[in-house]
Structure 1
């Protein structure tokens, strides 16, 4: 809510509502918000705001006579910057110092040396904080930054996969968080879709989910990791019917087919035997392949899958 001295919004020449308001006489008055209103606006708890105020001095700067302290637009802007930095893995203390005009923010480091790598669990927590607020733009920006710095494989292994595993366990235990999982998956997928290298000759890899398998994110990550190595691929996405996969293989003649399944019930529907009868090399990913069909190869991790595809294509 806004303070009592303000009135309804006034339109500027652009037609947009001005961030300030006008009182009945037309004078512009600053907008001030209560702690509860700011908490709802930013997607954080009032307890977090009180903690940041007490520990770092990031509290409301305005006090009206006879009323509680109120947050100004400048106060809210500082809090938004605080959320952005902590979402990037910056420690709250360092983020607050940067917001208040101190030293540039530093990530938590292991070992204390100047060449120490960033502590990855902290970055996973930063991604988790952005996800809990359903902040898809920030999640996408974090993924892009991680991939540019560390590459797809490390970003996935050290930050994104641990976050998704923990989130999946929470969903299984509590039944809540599905909306977070969906938006985080969309943010990761969108950030990784930078395009596959052009195909020169035979298609190196065709990626597909088993029939009824809906989790295609691991294959999206694999495609991005292959692209980093200059290895082109094509992804058919989730729930690929057996006949559709066989038709695609006939048309594209890939060097290798990578199939993903997290459930044995879905894996059993995949046309692995038909592919092998055609002499088609097949790699299998995910925990659903038990037992592994004779003639196919199961890859245990993203690095294993990347190396197997690259080796088959002799990149």
Structure 2
């Protein structure tokens, strides 16, 4: 087509060999839609929009994550940091570089895609190396602290009514970086939360529930031994929605109405929906 041509969504989908659903998802999730929209008319893509989508297809075909591919297709500055960049910085105990990489990654992809596509694989690989090579605790601590610092800078939205989410680790559970990622992902969407952190005793959690009356409680447990100590039945009996994250809940019979969430994205969507916000 000539310069200035306008493509319908159906024509773009057929030309690129993707489904209209994929096209709509890329528009909604990554902003890869028509750059100009005329009120009262169907959306029309121009040649530049189609070129951006074609580049998105090329990059995802090369194994680049959709979020990173979208950033690069839109002309984002430079490559997005990957797991290998983080591993190199961590093994050198280079905390400042880890902080810069995390800031760059979150700025490019947003918290959810940064966490799911790069940060979780990075943390898993660090843990596997620690088991195989012995030691490695110092490396993991440096990495966790660097990520934590950046995640806590994402923001602190005003609550404006009933608190959407209260976050806490199960009693004696010390692994809480996923909760920090959740708080940051919610903040990125303007949704307030309160994070009680690690090793929250049941009485303290229930007291906070009484004071704050949140719409949702999100409990994290990595270890089954700690998960079984949590007061699930007591929380489930309240008007608060109880969401459970982490692998620790796998062997536990859950009270009616309690939901497990498998991913950061899924948890964010649940909290936004339950608190009356659009996911």
* Paired position in structure 1 for 2:261: 299
Instruction: Tell me the TM-score normalized by structure 2.
Output: 0.70
The Cα RMSD (Å) is: 2.1
* Paired position in structure 1 for 2:126: 167
Q: Shift in Å at residue 201 of structure 1? A: 0.6
Match of 2:196 among 236, 254, 259: 236
Instruction: Tell me the TM-score normalized by structure 1.
Output: 0.62
Structure 2 distance, partners of 1:206, 1:231, is 11
What is the DSSP-based 3-state SS (H/G/I as helix, E as strand, rest coil) of the residue aligned with 1:138? Answer: helix
Whether contact under 8 Å (1:292, 1:298) holds in the other structure is no
Structure 2 distance, partners of 1:307, 1:144, is 23
What is the DSSP-based 3-state SS (H/G/I as helix, E as strand, rest coil) of the residue aligned with 1:179? Answer: helix
Q: Unpaired segments of 5 or more residues in structure 2?
A: 1-57, 63-68
Q: Unpaired segments of 5 or more residues in structure 1?
A: 1-108
* Paired position in structure 1 for 2:144: 185
Structure 2 distance, partners of 1:314, 1:128, is 39
Q: Shift in Å at residue 165 of structure 1? A: 0.5
Q: Shift in Å at residue 175 of structure 1? A: 2.3
Structure 2 distance, partners of 1:196, 1:292, is 35
* Paired position in structure 1 for 2:177: 217
Structure 2 distance, partners of 1:119, 1:268, is 43
Alignment of 1:1-315 (within 5 A): 110=59, 115=73, 123-194=82-153, 195-290=155-250, 291-294=252-255, 295-315=257-277
Give the structure with higher Rg (CA). 1
Structure 2 distance, partners of 1:220, 1:154, is 15
Q: Shift in Å at residue 115 of structure 1? A: 2.7
Whether contact under 8 Å (1:213, 1:239) holds in the other structure is yes
Structure 1 distance, partners of 2:156, 2:253, is 29
| Greater RCO, CA 8 A, separation 6+ | 2
What is the DSSP-based 3-state SS (H/G/I as helix, E as strand, rest coil) of the residue aligned with 2:171? Answer: coil
Equivalenced residue count is 206
